[in-house]
Structure 1
Amino acid sequence: MKPTQRLISALALVATLGGLTACGPEDPYGDSTGGSSASAQPSKKPSPSEGSTDEAGGPGDCGAPPKLPAGHKMVEPAAPPSKGSLSAKDAKPVCTPNGWIYHGQGKAKYYLFARDVKADLATGSGSTKSVPVGELWMHAGDCMTNPSAVKAPYSCSGNIYDITLDSEGNVNSIKEIWHP
């Protein structure tokens, strides 16, 4: 009888603690560079029983989904970028127990890079470092295929990138989004 009571007590404690977790909207543009610092960690999508919703499904427990500045788009590479091109899925915000997290959805689109691309890699919470676009391609590829190859101050922090496109539809800026 005593082991059963302990088990029930333990389950009640876990249920109580689990009920304290809630999502909250984050300031997706809190950095001074005008880019996004919204959460973007790829993780398993929570099931509907966990209170998840996507942008189309409503706000759920997280409040209103983050809004991107005009001309910005979140993407998740579908394959390691190569010289001059990127295959990526549009990333949409999904409410998780950790807040709004971006996840690639749908079919991958093919993007070309503009001649003078501005590239930034995440170096921590809200911080980025401008790098040559080739370094960003290598970093993104390593994060997808060999994360142990990535050295500080960089990390594989989500595989989500904030991009802007020029008038011809080519990527003219790309910024890695940091998430713990």
Structure 2
Amino acid sequence: MAALGAVTSCGPEDPYDDNAGGSKASAQPSKKPTTPSDDSSDDAAGSGDCGTPPKLPAGHKMVEPAVPPSKGSLSAKDAKPVCTPNDWIYHGQGKAKYYLFAGDVKAELATGAGKTKSVPVGQLWMHAGDCMTNQSAVKAPYSCSGNIYDITLDSEGEINSIKEIWHP
């Protein structure tokens, strides 16, 4: 489970489908046909079976928490798409960066493929911490689904929206 503990997919489940009637941006890459000799499945440049790497909507970035979030802050690594045999998945890479949360944060937890539920940001912090340290504490409709979050930053560089990305 450790190998899948910090991943998310950008396949048929559109992580930006919030069912709110707003605009969507697809992160689903195009697929190319595979051949038996195609063994480049770990190629981050997209020359493997995954096709073109996913593009995030302007102002969005994927992150993987490095430690459980604490009230008002998050230490997270930038998450980059990596081609795997199962499509593009995000992995935290490099040194963790320190983020503060803005005063009014839109927080969403994944409830399944393409589905999220708005929650108070404190509930998201607890959920993320439980997924990192005590997965048995997480109750339905939530699950620990990859530890990858889509964030946006305000003009001060503080997180003003954070959304858990679902992965089976």
For residue 47 of structure 2, the aligned residue among 35, 55, 59 is: 59
For residue 97 of structure 2, the aligned residue among 88, 105, 109 is: 109
Contact 1:87 1:110 in 2 (8 A): yes
Aligned length: 146
Change (3 A) 1:38 1:140: farther
CA radius of gyration, larger in: 1
What runs of 5+ residues in structure 2 fail to find an aligned partner?
A: 1-9, 29-38
For residue 166 of structure 1, the aligned residue among 154, 157, 161 is: 154
Contact 1:158 1:179 in 2 (8 A): yes
TM-score (norm 2): 0.80
Matches of 1:27 and 1:66, distance apart in 2:
13
CA deviation after TM superposition for structure 1 residue 98, in Å = 1.0
Matches of 2:24 and 2:63, distance apart in 1:
14
Contact 2:61 2:78 in 1 (8 A): yes
Identify the residue that residue 131 of structure 1 maps to in structure 2.
119
Contact 1:139 1:150 in 2 (8 A): yes
What runs of 5+ residues in structure 1 fail to find an aligned partner?
A: 1-23, 40-48
Contact 2:15 2:166 in 1 (8 A): no
CA deviation after TM superposition for structure 1 residue 53, in Å = 1.4
Matches of 1:164 and 1:145, distance apart in 2:
25
Q: CA RMSD in A?
A: 2.2
Contact 1:75 1:88 in 2 (8 A): yes
Contact 2:14 2:114 in 1 (8 A): no
Matches of 2:144 and 2:52, distance apart in 1:
27
For residue 80 of structure 2, the aligned residue among 78, 81, 92 is: 92
Identify the residue that residue 148 of structure 1 maps to in structure 2.
136
Identity %: 78
TM-score (norm 1): 0.75
Q: Deviations over 1:120-172 (max 9, x none)?
A: 00000100000000000000000000001000000000000000000000000
Contact 1:163 1:171 in 2 (8 A): yes
Matches of 1:102 and 1:174, distance apart in 2:
16
CA deviation after TM superposition for structure 1 residue 58, in Å = 3.5
Change (3 A) 1:36 1:113: farther
Partner of 2:107, secondary structure, is strand
Identify the residue that residue 107 of structure 2 maps to in structure 1.
119
CA deviation after TM superposition for structure 1 residue 97, in Å = 1.1
Change (3 A) 1:128 1:37: farther
The structure that is helix-richer by fraction is 1
